[in-house]
Structure 1
Amino acid sequence: MRGSSYVLVWLVLHMSGGGDSVPAPNALSFLGKSLASVTEPLSTVATTTGSNTWAVATSLGQGLQTVGKPLGSAAGGLANVSIGTAKSMGGGLKNVGEPIGTVVVSAGSAGVGVGKTVGQVLQKEIQTVKQPIDVTLTYIGSSQCQNVQKLLGVSYQQLQGDNEPNLDNLEIVYKTKYTTTTANIMNAPATLRQARKFDNDDRLVVYFHGFTDDPGQKSFTQLSQAYLAKDRMSLIALDASSLIRWFYARASTFVQYIGEAIAAVLAALVGHGQDPAKIHLVGHSLGGHIAGYAGKAFQLLTGKKIGRITGLDPAGPCFSHLEPRLRLHHDDADYVDAIHTDAGVYGLSDPVGHKDYYPNRGTMQPGCLLQTCSHSRVYELYAESVLNPTGFPSVRCANWAAFRQGNCEYDKTSYMGYASKPGNDGLYFLQTNLSSPYSLGAEGCKFRNTDGIVMSVANVLG
């Protein structure tokens, strides 16, 4: 474009004669005509072309619009259909997925249930094999207990006189719904008389814990909660943990001294108006024998008997081979009942009361693998019986085999635990649940075979 301008200027200058003079008119006229003759047709063509191009573009746009609108509508419709399809598909998947999820969850729950059942079956088989071993070992150890005590210098005879245990640390715990009062055993009679002035219930219930236990632990906690929930005004516990917390051979000898000490407290209370017939001693394990010794000593001090003693799985080791005067016995109170849940190991097998209850054979408790569990189950059963006095009916039978065969005196039934009453003395059997609530009601008097394979075979073979 710049080169064409130079040529045009050169022509204009030279056609005018050169130099700086103005071109001649004739020359300018000629040039204008020449340019017009060239540019007019070009302008006409450009205008025509532009018009045609605009028309073509307009037509093309209109054409595209004509085609695009139905395409857009179709695409929009397709999109809506796709969205609807997606929604329908999602709903369908949800409808399919939810029942599948439910099935999976149900299958998972069933799996947990099956696993739990298998675990319980295995536990029962292990328990069955383990039980006779534990019984044998306990029998051997218990039969030698007196010799061991003498060898260690902790027999009752060896500890008399200057060697007697120091009982000054024994304490009495007086518990109500709102307060807990602790008193040294030396001050216990005066403290209890003062504290019970506001107690409208003249029944006196005293709890004795077992080996390594104390009133702050689970056994007394459960019993006291049950008693106080039933409108009992108060409950008393002996804290003998300072003497029977360790060294079982010695602790089993100390129970006699402890029982004699508590008898003196009870005798003092009777001297101030307490009716001995309304005294109820409840003892777990070693505590059962403490209650027995207390009953024996109380008779010597007062010439009267305590109203009732309940032995909760009275301790077996070191007491299985002793004469009745050296352990809990039915002569220790007007009425003595005992519940056996770990008979032959931590608890006594032999009957010791007017009535002896043997839930679930009296040995391996359902849901327990360790003997400590079976031994502790007894206070759970008793606590439940306080809240539900008629929850544990039992039937009098000669033994467990008779109960299994239904060969019992079904006209002779008795409630195990809190509601147990004198009359129809003997051995009573029942079954319970494996977890709380343990009561089966009347169904507990009918044998249900819950034994494992090993035990079932043993029963068949006799």
Structure 2
Amino acid sequence: MFPSVFRVYTFCLAITLLAIGCYSFSLGDVGKSFKDVVVGVGKDVANTIPTPEKMFESSKNLIIGYPFEVVSSSINTICSRALSSETIRPRITPDLHEMQFQLRTPCKKYNYSLLNADAMWKSSEFDPKKKVVILATGWRTTVNESDTTDVFAKAYNCRGDVNFVAVDAANFVDTLYTWSALNTDEIGRNIAIGLVELTKIVPVENIHLIGHSLGAHIMGAAGRNFFYQTGKLIPRITALDPAKPCFNEGQSLAGLMRGDAEFIDVIHSDPGALGKREPTGDIDFYPGGLGPLPKGCYDIGCAHARSWQYYAETVYPGNEMSYLGVRCSSLTQAEEGKCPGPKVPMGYAVPKDLKGNYFLDVNGEEPFGKQSDAALLESKKNCGICQN
């Protein structure tokens, strides 16, 4: 039996869903869902927590988007209490044999098991003289079916000075969200094993980990476990709108935390909804401010994806200074010139000696960076892809 406080939060969630009508069900369906939530919570708590897939769909019905923050916070509280009760276990336990690194060159994709990661690091396609960027994407994505991975591979291959690698953990983050969240720590531990092998060939200072959504927490766990195994810190982890639901410092799933790398930069594009609002890194950027919907987005799915779209824009040579933020407490104060500090670049070229919260305005359509060079980006449209 769950603690009474958990039932209270469940009841509040059901009331919230009824009040704001965020699900496009009939009244009868809503009534049945309310009953199922209250009565069934002790039997199958995992299934009473709305998944991000439902969140994405329901958000399309929200014109402004702000009411979703109430629902998201309720879900987060319920999930955290359910996890702390230790009644939820991952439905699928990560199997190291099935997880892969994928090396992306302009023309080919090379897959290697995490158990055989050293084979990739030693392969002819991998250049040990170059830096290494490793990307972990979010819930319900795979390296072969991910816009994020394709866009990042193109941008980094355009630079030409990086080995770009994606992590394929889809089998273990393609389940009910709560199970996926529970798997992030285990996946991170497995990635750390591959990183230990990598540092036998590439200096640790040449490694950069990037994660979007759940991937941000996976990379936090990878950096943390790499330190446990080696006593060394990965120099940089970039977190792109780290997932909010179920992840809270000091609770069962802490997720990404300061100290998981020497330097952590975070881009919040959907703060308070699917993404965490509170500062998570050494330097946190809030493009478009603290609201859950940046310019040009009318649902939280769009907003959640903006973080990786913003970052990828900055990877192209010559466009590194396309987003300039200022340390401030709000976007309004920044726009009114009440934050007199220097402007610093968000994304690829972020200074690694700064700390604090930085705000900046963005465009509602591509290029999203206020300082982006549209002509330059147009000239790079065929850069980083196979020319054969």
Does residue 1:189 correspond to 2:118, yes or no? yes
Q: CA deviation at 1:377?
A: 1.1
Q: CA deviation at 1:147?
A: 3.1
Q: CA deviation at 1:300?
A: 0.5
Structure 1 counterpart of 2:96, from 167, 170, 173: 167
Does residue 1:431 correspond to 2:365, yes or no? no
Does residue 1:391 correspond to 2:325, yes or no? no
Q: How many residues align?
A: 310
Structure 2 counterpart of 1:242, from 171, 185, 189: 171
Q: CA deviation at 1:220?
A: 0.6
* Counterpart contact for 2:331–2:360, Cα < 8 Å: no
* SS of residue in 1 equivalent to 2:228: helix
Structure 1 or 2, whichever has the larger Rg, is 1
CA distance in 2 between partners of 1:422 and 1:192 (Å): 27
CA distance in 1 between partners of 2:120 and 2:223 (Å): 22
Structure 1 counterpart of 2:302, from 373, 376, 392: 373
* Counterpart contact for 1:295–1:332, Cα < 8 Å: yes
Match of 2:67 in 1: 133
CA distance in 2 between partners of 1:336 and 1:130 (Å): 31
Q: CA deviation at 1:225?
A: 0.5
Match of 2:209 in 1: 281
Match of 1:420 in 2: 350
Match of 1:361 in 2: 289
- Residues 395-406 of structure 1: pairs in structure 2 closer than 5 A: 395-406=326-337
* SS of residue in 2 equivalent to 1:168: helix
CA distance in 2 between partners of 1:282 and 1:384 (Å): 15
Where do 5+ consecutive residues of structure 1 fail to align?
A: 1-125, 443-462
Does residue 1:213 correspond to 2:149, yes or no? no
Match of 1:227 in 2: 156
Does residue 1:342 correspond to 2:270, yes or no? yes
* Counterpart contact for 1:168–1:186, Cα < 8 Å: yes
CA distance in 1 between partners of 2:264 and 2:212 (Å): 14
Higher share in helix: 1
CA distance in 2 between partners of 1:344 and 1:383 (Å): 23
* Counterpart contact for 1:205–1:281, Cα < 8 Å: yes
Q: CA deviation at 1:320?
A: 4.0
Partner deviation per Cα, 1:98-143 (whole Å, 9 max, x = no partner): xxxxxxxxxxxxxxxxxxxxxxxxxxxx999632211000000001
Partner deviation per Cα, 1:333-364 (whole Å, 9 max, x = no partner): 11110000001111000111111000001431
Q: CA deviation at 1:324?
A: 10
Q: CA deviation at 1:321?
A: 5.7
Structure 1 counterpart of 2:280, from 342, 346, 352: 352
- RCO comparison, higher one (Cα < 8 Å, 6+): 2
TM-score (norm 1): 0.63
Match of 2:180 in 1: 251
CA distance in 2 between partners of 1:244 and 1:334 (Å): 27
* SS of residue in 2 equivalent to 1:306: coil
Distance change in 2, residues 1:356/1:184 (3 Å): same
* Counterpart contact for 2:268–2:307, Cα < 8 Å: yes
* SS of residue in 2 equivalent to 1:428: strand
Q: CA deviation at 1:183?
A: 1.3
The amino acid across from 2:148 in the alignment is: S
Q: CA deviation at 1:193?
A: 2.1
RMSD: 2.4
CA distance in 2 between partners of 1:367 and 1:438 (Å): 10
- Could you tell me the percent identity over the aligned residues? 29
Q: CA deviation at 1:150?
A: 5.9
CA distance in 1 between partners of 2:264 and 2:85 (Å): 34
CA distance in 2 between partners of 1:247 and 1:280 (Å): 29
Structure 1 counterpart of 2:258, from 330, 334, 345: 330
CA distance in 1 between partners of 2:275 and 2:228 (Å): 28
Partner deviation per Cα, 1:20-40 (whole Å, 9 max, x = no partner): xxxxxxxxxxxxxxxxxxxxx
CA distance in 1 between partners of 2:195 and 2:221 (Å): 13
* Counterpart contact for 1:340–1:347, Cα < 8 Å: yes
CA distance in 1 between partners of 2:204 and 2:253 (Å): 21
Q: CA deviation at 1:164?
A: 4.5
